[in-house]
Amino acid sequence: MPYSPLLVKPFRDELTSIGFVELLTADDVDRTMKEAATGMTLVAFNSVQGSAAGVARPGVRLALEGGSKRPDRLLTVFDEQDLEATQQMRSYFPDIPPSHPSFALFKDGELVYFVPRHRIEGRNAQILATDLEAAFNEFGQ
């Protein structure tokens, strides 16, 4: 069951304030993923879970500030909130179990890198940022 929109607004804003575009419906996801057929696209699966606040959102912010290469597109779906959009985004990589928070990196429309929750929990934001920056550098133009 989704949380109150008032509760999650600051969590949404934390990503949109650094350039992420929220996808709220399955149609939003499909339309945007068609546009993502070229270049590098990072998808953040946002969450109210503690590691999202302590590691995932701060870590992706650091990665985007520090790296020489950045994704062409920054997209986000909010797990536990925008259920239809989250399910549709997961359909783009059905072999990977649901995980939130998490990050999916696409290159020319193909999933090339995935960070599940178990690689976020128990770590710190800087370590996650370093991992994401390395993926941006490996798969970026």
| Segment 40-52, tens digit of pLDDT | 999 999 999 888 9
- Has residue 141 got a pLDDT over 80? no
User: Domain range holding 110?
Assistant: 5-139
Q: What is the mean pLDDT of the chain?
A: 94
Per the structure block, which two tokens stand in for 130?
Answer: 């370093």
Local confidence band at 1 (pLDDT 50, 70, 90 cut-offs): low
Q: How many distinct structural domains can be found in the chain? A: 1
* DSSP calls for 55-115: IIHHHHHHHHHH-SS--SEEEEEETTTSHHHHHHHHTTSTTSPP-SSEEEEEETTEEEEEE
Read off the pTM: 0.95
* Mean local confidence (pLDDT), 101-113: 97
CATH code where residue 36 lies: 3.40.30.10
| Segment 65-100, tens digit of pLDDT | 986 789 999 999 999 899 999 999 999 999 999 999
